[in-house]
Structure 1
Amino acid sequence: MDTLAHPKRILIIGAGPSGIVTLRNLIKLGSYDRVEIVERRDDVGGVWYNNASDTPRWPSPAYPGLIGNVLPEFLSFSGSPFPEPPTTPHQPFPTLRETYDYLRGFAEVYLERGNIRLNTEVVRVEELEAGKGWNVTTRDWRSPDRGEIRSEVWDAVVVCTGWYDDPLWPGTPGMEDLKKKGLAVHAKWYRGPQKYAGKRALVIGNGNSANDIAAHLVPLAKDPVYRSIRRPAFKHFVSLPDVRIKDVSPVKRFILQENDKVTAELLDETIIEDIDVVFIGSGYFPNPAFLHVRSPDAPSASITPLMSQVSAQSLQSRRVPSLHKHILYAYNPTLAFVGSVMSFTPFTITDVSSTWLALIWTNEIAYPTTPEGRLQFEKERIQDIERRREIEAQETGLEASSLFTYSALGSDEEDYAADLKREIVEARPELKDVLPEWNEERRKWRQAMYPVKYQSLEWLKKQREGTPNGVHRVTDGNAAN
């Protein structure tokens, strides 16, 4: 057993869903002297918190009116069922407010006990020598001078900051010119279609965000709304067909016109001129830039950013590197991540992940005792993903989706969670009936949500026909993006 992984003082970074359930599980299952969360915003909830009174430094990608596509039973942390939403049976998916209220209620006891420090921004986390812990530098926005810098040493750190700080932009030629002119808008900053009435719009992508933006634009924007796609969407990205949305091929390059409009040259040689705005739905990438670790090659000599361990040009760079089971940092198991991967049911995945972590750090669950052994998980997963991407490309004749990658659990979600639960139950049999069962039945149950979502969209469309601007926000439950 690795003697490093028995911390007594643990700091969690981020009070979104991943952070607060990690706090609960560490306190409930572990024997630790001190466990706390620091959160830079003024309330818990992560992307599900979008109070207009919050500081504008870190706005959520979500906004009022958002509706998820994950049903309440898949948003429930163990022992804390999600309340039945007070909405019509035709629309059973929780809203932004209902999801925030659930998270706020879950965290209330820990706020009262002082386990969560709000308005506390993490500036830098640095690994100390010889397993002596982590030096964490924070900026306290509650202090009289609004930004007092403090440093503390912790035995272990759990990063629960999620994905939605750093938008991923396509490298299409001409994109930088559009960004400088404010003609390209990433989904992170989309706040509704009203200001684009009568405008010609091009949407890049066909995931949840891109599909939602296109659907919101059609009642107001110039007809048609163009949607540039490389391949058909995953069946889980539910959206209604609309004759006012015209699907076109990928963009070859953008050209900035003299009148500050845009020309898009497509790969099939089609030219679209006089575009007023280009919306980017290409997703995000994890980037805990504050985190600095000892170089694996020279741990006593140098400190490097964690993310420098992956190539910026690689598709597989869209991951937190060197993690055993997407959670434990291979070179120092007193660093962990919860929520480092995308999943269809993220609340339940972070619950089982943090339960597993709590028992790892009490030495009740065994793990490989060398960095090389802990890196084997990452190595095998990358090899498997690359193999499956090649097979998909050969079978379809198309480039494999960028969503089919290391950092997205995809079809492996139930198997991944079942493996974690198996180890948990071997250590603590009493948790067998506390955590959900992940199996083929659950997979079918989860997949059955998508037809229900489609039906709810049809119902919402009928409701929109009676509203002045016809706008409702519908997005995915994995992220408010």
Structure 2
Amino acid sequence: MNGHAVPAPPFVADPHPKRVLIIGGGPAGLGVLRALLHQHPGEAPPPFEAVSLVERREDIGGVWNIDSKTVALERSYPNGHASGHWPVYANPQEAQQGRPHWPSPSYPLLRGNVLPRFLSYSTAGRFPAPSENEPFPSLDETQAYLVEAAKPVRAYIRCNIECVGVWELPDDKPDQNRWAVRLHDWNDGGKAVTEYWDAVIPATSFTDAPAYPAIPGIKEVHDIGKLQHCKWYRGVEGTYTADERILVVGNGNSANDVAAHLASHRVAGKHEPIYRAARHAKLIIFSALEDERIKDVPTVKAFHVRERAGKAVLDVELIDSSIIENVDRVVLGSGYQYGKYHWIHLLSRGATSADEAHLPGHHDGADWQAPAESDLWKPVSLAPRALGQGPEPDDPGRLVGLWEQMVHARAATLAFANLPITYTPFILADVQGHALRSLWDASPASLPPTLEARLQSERDRLAEIEARKKALPELEAAGEKAWRDKLEKNRAVDRGELPESERIPAFETVAPDHVTLLHFHILGDDGLPYANRLRKVALAGHPEWEQRLLDWNTIEEERKGMYAVKVESLKRARERRRIAGGVE
């Protein structure tokens, strides 16, 4: 900079954007869109001059929108699934050619574990009662609700529009910014265009970035075609057979569902059980039934790909040193990487006269692209880690610099919808959308006035996690001893020293892993105070919303009780299948 001080990027002190773009048409994006646009009788109209939502797929719905055409494309890939391919194409041999398709990570038999009350937007009608007296709706019923909720705001939604990048731009005013958004329009053959907006709300799902555990040998399992992440699981038929030896890794919702689906196509005593390995004991929020066709085993220590009779075979070594030989498939229910928005670029400094050539001018606005080599921008996060890639030493594992895990503390016209993970994402997006509208529409609600004050919520969250981690050594020592005692008791049963009735279920003998749930963006029970803070912000600007916005204090007991309801519903469904004489 020729010896001159590097100018700072703009601190947006008083954000009141007039043109707002939402990226992603799932439950988060749709909930925020409705909140920004909704007007009750007698209320002032929204202050925005333009609001738009872009969705890369053919319709809204996000993970709840699973379309048969894309599933058929996935099944055309080797092994009957497209594991590791994202997006997918009509001709798997010609990736990057033609129109891309983004599959939903859901599966046709999915039935949720969130009650209809907590799937209802405050600006829309109540979620209809699920069919067949089920307490929880099916995937199709959830998608139908989202499609219905989108009808009043369809004019603001543009589908088949892929966002490939976002760049913060300086504004004429030193305390303001704006955004360049690069889009591919698949209604027009993928035509590239750049649009300009005052504010941007990414509402994209974390399911774009699957997490792969750092287990020795995992890359080799993928290379021989025996590895599939739950992100690409679409059902049993046409992909799996009852004679295969299958290991499911994990015991969260997806892993438990996949294990149950696979087991339902097996007969106890005739077929080998599905193996399920997990790092921690089953949590109440991950509802599942005991099943003699599912065998719980300790977590995986290593994968060993060996050659036998001229063929590559897989042996799986568990943490207790036992071996499962000749495994045909490994299905990973290992979750996703949070906070990966590497396609969003923030100003790393203030612009100078030397940067003018890199900034969009009046003549090339729609065609502008950020130069690849400029140091004027930096991505808001690192890119997702690939299979076999260890964590970067400077990866914080979260999005840094946000007020309440939502609004960027400096560039306050950038806000993230449903970044934190809660039990009830629909109603979280609802309260976030109302809080954003209050902050951005010149109402009395406002962000803290300084950067330091805006970052206080981040410091508070980090302090909470650190305090919990300090209590871990004692918890882990006790858990380790209990785990070892349980393993030894089961070995005594195996040796015939104790009766079979003394055997401890394997899912209770996995090694403890308390750190798993101490992730910055996973709120768990902290979802209640978080939602309360955002609701307070929304009502500070619009007290007339008091009756509209759900008070989470009044629903917390029911919200936490959903999982016991889910277990009972699974039991009733199993009994119905038994009476009907079908395969469970």
1:18-417 to 2 correspondence within 5 Å?
Answer: 18-28=28-38, 30-53=46-69, 56=88, 57-89=101-133, 91-111=134-154, 113=155, 115-130=156-171, 131-143=176-188, 146-194=189-237, 195-220=240-265, 222-258=271-307, 259-286=311-338, 287-295=340-348, 302-308=376-382, 312-313=391-392, 317-364=396-443, 365-396=445-476, 397=479, 398-417=512-531
Distance 1:404 1:299 in 2: 39
Does residue 8 (structure 1) correspond to residue 5 (structure 2)? The answer is no
Alignment CA distance shift 1:334-1:470 (3 Å) = farther
Which of these two proteins has the greater Rg computed from alpha carbons?
Answer: 2
Alignment CA distance shift 1:412-1:315 (3 Å) = farther
The SS at the match of 2:539 is helix
Partners of 2:439 and 2:541 within 8 A in 1: no
Partners of 1:18 and 1:338 within 8 A in 2: yes
Partners of 2:12 and 2:411 within 8 A in 1: no
1:465-480 to 2 correspondence within 5 Å?
Answer: 465=578, 470=583
| 1:240 shift after superposition | 0.3
Alignment match, 2:568: 455
- Partner letter of residue 21 of structure 1? G
Alignment CA distance shift 1:135-1:386 (3 Å) = same
Gaps of 5+ in 2: 1-10, 40-45, 74-87, 89-100, 353-374, 386-390, 480-511
Partners of 1:316 and 1:406 within 8 A in 2: no
Distance 2:534 2:425 in 1: 15
Alignment CA distance shift 1:310-1:383 (3 Å) = farther
Alignment CA distance shift 1:348-1:3 (3 Å) = same
The SS at the match of 2:381 is helix
Distance 1:425 1:358 in 2: 11
Deviations 1:331-375 (CA, angstroms, capped at 9, x unpaired): 200100011011101100110011001111123312222333222
Does residue 418 (structure 1) correspond to residue 461 (structure 2)? The answer is no
| 1:191 shift after superposition | 1.5
Distance 1:388 1:314 in 2: 23
Distance 1:2 1:449 in 2: 41
| 1:318 shift after superposition | 4.0
Distance 2:64 2:264 in 1: 26
Distance 1:352 1:332 in 2: 21
Partners of 2:114 and 2:136 within 8 A in 1: yes
Alignment CA distance shift 1:308-1:243 (3 Å) = same
| 1:466 shift after superposition | 6.2
Aligned length: 464
Distance 1:315 1:270 in 2: 36
- Partner letter of residue 124 of structure 2? S
Partners of 2:107 and 2:233 within 8 A in 1: no
Deviations 1:410-433 (CA, angstroms, capped at 9, x unpaired): 001111111111222222111111
Distance 2:126 2:466 in 1: 37
Partners of 2:164 and 2:182 within 8 A in 1: yes
| 1:465 shift after superposition | 3.6
Distance 1:223 1:361 in 2: 58
| 1:314 shift after superposition | 7.4
Partners of 1:226 and 1:247 within 8 A in 2: yes
The SS at the match of 2:248 is strand
Partners of 1:414 and 1:442 within 8 A in 2: no
Distance 2:454 2:563 in 1: 36
Distance 2:408 2:395 in 1: 17
Partners of 2:177 and 2:411 within 8 A in 1: no
| 1:395 shift after superposition | 2.2
Identity %: 38
Distance 2:394 2:319 in 1: 21
Alignment CA distance shift 1:469-1:210 (3 Å) = farther
Distance 1:337 1:399 in 2: 29
Alignment CA distance shift 1:340-1:126 (3 Å) = same
Distance 1:309 1:213 in 2: 28
| 1:401 shift after superposition | 4.2
- Partner letter of residue 467 of structure 2? R
Partners of 2:210 and 2:337 within 8 A in 1: yes
Deviations 1:15-42 (CA, angstroms, capped at 9, x unpaired): 1111111111112363010000011001
Deviations 1:270-322 (CA, angstroms, capped at 9, x unpaired): 11111111111111123223211112x67765211110399944798443332
Deviations 1:101-124 (CA, angstroms, capped at 9, x unpaired): 10001111221x2x1111000011
Superposition TM-score, scaled by structure 1 size: 0.91
Superposition TM-score, scaled by structure 2 size: 0.75
| 1:188 shift after superposition | 0.5
| 1:436 shift after superposition | 0.9
- Partner letter of residue 178 of structure 2? G
Moved more, 185-194 or 336-345: 185-194
- Partner letter of residue 434 of structure 2? T
- Partner letter of residue 266 of structure 1? L
The SS at the match of 1:123 is strand
Alignment CA distance shift 1:99-1:316 (3 Å) = farther
Distance 1:107 1:437 in 2: 24
| 1:390 shift after superposition | 3.6
The SS at the match of 1:260 is strand
| 1:82 shift after superposition | 3.1
Partners of 2:200 and 2:415 within 8 A in 1: yes
| 1:161 shift after superposition | 0.3
- Partner letter of residue 558 of structure 2? W
Distance 1:39 1:132 in 2: 24
